[in-house]
């Protein structure tokens, strides 16, 4: 139906209830799959075209790094092996200095300690294909959400501008359900409507840095022109470039630079500026980047922001998930992993009882479990940006990481480096901060004790002489 309400009345259709989802990106597609398998009728609407009919359109990076939390979610829905076949494991960092020298820093202590570089578009397609096989899940692409009524609840959609495959007649369509779920990203339409509700807190903080992507093409026969199974980092203090491997032998490079000031996007205005800067700062990468000036001038600069809000739901009728309620900067590679973990936790809460759920209780429980950890991840992600760009090249940093890994090998049950807790476990993000602080105090105490023992030994030797 168009121009009015459509869909079955809430709670019918022989299921546990009806859900309208706004957004069918990574988190939205996985949530639709989980909801469908849990017995809910789901109608999911996405503003962008169907990625199964063409390339993904939008401002997001084409790569992401899947780690333990995301891998666990994919394993739960039987898609892990299929996704891993499309990606490249990264077992550590390769640090590139300004002279072209490199130093390898493993992430963990065993082969399983790896992040997996995967295509965002390929992953989205895999999830959409799986969710579309559920008989009670339907997707509509090219449909833009233009309104949300949080009290009915209902959402209104119309054809997105330029959408050739829009699943609608063009007239506005209002769809009712038991719940409207906002999985529509950092600039969520659902959240914007919730921001008009009483006592809704919201903040967004833009980083002074932006990002731009470039591509190192594959070598002859699809070969990799740099080390394959690593995340490449060119740390330069205050800014950096990274490169993630792709299955076809190419690398996606991402520049993280200030928007303004020296050594920023603002000062590179001409092709000559670009070539001189890259030749000086990234000489080994420049040799592998064809038409570096042309790529640089053609590709846009994206912004980086952190979003926090509360509450994540309204009277059990409208709720938010993923970037819609907790977008973070990408420097721990945890955005998609955190969104996938959101989906797993919400699914677990829903499965605690059979039949139609008490959505107010479900969303209250979900927010209590996830908000503290989403806030912790925001802090961790900002801190890791400083670590990646300013510290990874230092000998002191490498020495500290080596000590942490040695302690983990000796005491795996009681000591785990923070990076490993975040990437290679499902220890809650907030708990990783607490554990890392406790471990840091122990290391400082041990270092002080060791220093005291050395001093006593020296004094004893002097006294004997």
Tracing tokens 């996938």 back to the chain, one arrives at 340
Most confident option among 11-25, 397-411, 451-465:
397-411
Q: Is the pLDDT of residue 295 over 80?
A: yes
pTM: 0.90
CA–CA distance, 153 with 160 (Å, rounded to integer) = 22
Rounded to the nearest 10°, the torsion over CA 330, 208, 303, 124 is: 0
Q: Is the pLDDT of residue 355 over 70?
A: yes
Percentage of the chain with pLDDT > 90? 78
Q: Is the pLDDT of residue 19 over 50?
A: yes
Question: Is the bond into 311 cis (omega within 30 degrees of 0)?
Answer: yes
Q: Is the pLDDT of residue 10 over 50?
A: no
Per-residue pLDDT of 73-130, as tens digits, reads 999 999 999 999 999 999 999 999 999 999 999 999 998 999 999 999 999 999 999 9
Per-residue pLDDT of 446-463, as tens digits, reads 666 666 666 667 767 766
Per-residue pLDDT of 150-189, as tens digits, reads 999 999 999 988 666 566 566 899 999 999 999 999 999 9
**Domains delineated in the chain:** 5-87+118-204+306-382 (3.50.50.60), 205-303 (3.30.9.30), 395-464 (no CATH)
Q: Is the pLDDT of residue 361 over 60?
A: yes
Residue 344 half-sphere exposure, CB side, CA atoms within 13 Å? 17
60: pLDDT confidence band, cut at 50, 70 and 90?
low
Quote the pLDDT of residue 147. Answer: 97
Per-residue pLDDT of 226-262, as tens digits, reads 999 999 999 999 999 999 999 999 999 999 999 999 9
Per-residue pLDDT of 253-266, as tens digits, reads 999 999 999 999 99
Per-residue pLDDT of 303-340, as tens digits, reads 999 999 999 999 999 999 999 999 999 999 999 999 99
Section 410-433 average pLDDT: 94
Quote the pLDDT of residue 327. Answer: 97
Q: Is the pLDDT of residue 13 over 80?
A: no
By DSSP bridging, strand 41-46 and strand 137-141 are parallel
Quote the pLDDT of residue 406. Answer: 87
Quote the pLDDT of residue 462. Answer: 66
CA–CA distance, 184 with 22 (Å, rounded to integer) = 6
Sign of CA dihedral 218, 232, 27, 183: negative
By DSSP bridging, strand 173-176 and strand 154-159 are antiparallel
């Amino acid at each position: 139906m168009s121009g009015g309400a459509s869909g079955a009345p809430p709670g019918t259709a022989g299921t546990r209830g009806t859900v309208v989802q706004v957004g069918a990106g990574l988190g939205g597609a996985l949530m639709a799959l989980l909801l469908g398998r849990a017995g809910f009728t789901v109608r999911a609407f996405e503003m962008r075209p169907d990625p199964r009919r063409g390339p993904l359109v939008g401002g997001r990076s084409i790569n992401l790094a899947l780690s333990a939390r995301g891998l666990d979610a994919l394993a739960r829905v039987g898609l892990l092996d299929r996704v891993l076949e499309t990606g490249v494991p990264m077992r550590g960092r390769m640090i590139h200095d300004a002279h072209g020298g490199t130093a390898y820093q493993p992430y963990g202590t065993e082969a399983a300690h790896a992040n997996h570089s995967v295509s965002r578009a390929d992953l989205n397609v895999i999830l959409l294909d799986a969710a579309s096989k559920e008989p009670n899940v339907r997707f509509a692409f090219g449909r833009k959400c233009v309104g949300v009524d949080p009290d009915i609840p209902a959402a209104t959609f119309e054809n997105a501008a330029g959408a050739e495959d829009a699943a609608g007649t063009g007239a506005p369509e209002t769809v009712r359900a038991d719940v409207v779920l906002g999985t529509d990203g950092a600039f969520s339409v659902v959240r914007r409507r919730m921001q008009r509700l009483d006592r809704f807190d919201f903040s967004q903080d833009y980083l002074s840095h932006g990002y731009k992507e470039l591509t190192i093409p594959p070598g002859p026969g699809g070969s990799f022109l740099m080390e394959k199974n690593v995340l490449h980092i060119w740390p330069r203090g205050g800014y950096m470039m990274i490169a993630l491997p792709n299955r076809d032998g190419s690398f996606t490079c991402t520049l993280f630079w200030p928007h303004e000031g020296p050594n920023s996007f603002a000062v590179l205005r001409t092709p000559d500026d670009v070539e001189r800067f890259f030749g000086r700062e990234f000489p080994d990468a420049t040799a592998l980047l064809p038409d570096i000036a042309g790529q640089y001038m053609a590709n846009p600069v994206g912004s980086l922001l952190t979003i926090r809000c509360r509450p994540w739901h309204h009277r059990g009728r409208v709720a938010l998930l993923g970037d819609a309620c907790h977008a973070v900067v990408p420097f721990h590679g945890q955005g998609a992993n955190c969104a996938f973990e959101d989906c797993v936790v919400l699914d677990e809460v829903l499965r605690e009882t059979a039949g139609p759920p008490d959505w107010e209780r479900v969303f209250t429980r979900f927010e209590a479990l996830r908000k503290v950890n989403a806030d912790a991840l925001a802090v961790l992600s900002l801190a890791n940006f400083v670590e990646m760009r300013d510290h990874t090249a230092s000998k002191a940093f490498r020495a500290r990481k080596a000590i942490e890994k040695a302690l983990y090998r000796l005491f795996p049950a009681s000591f785990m480096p923070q990076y490993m807790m975040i990437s290679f476990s499902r220890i809650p993000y907030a708990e990783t901060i607490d554990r890392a602080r406790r471990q840091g105090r122990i290391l400082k105490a041990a270092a002080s004790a060791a220093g005291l023992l050395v001093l006593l030994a020296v004094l004893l030797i002097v006294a004997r002489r």
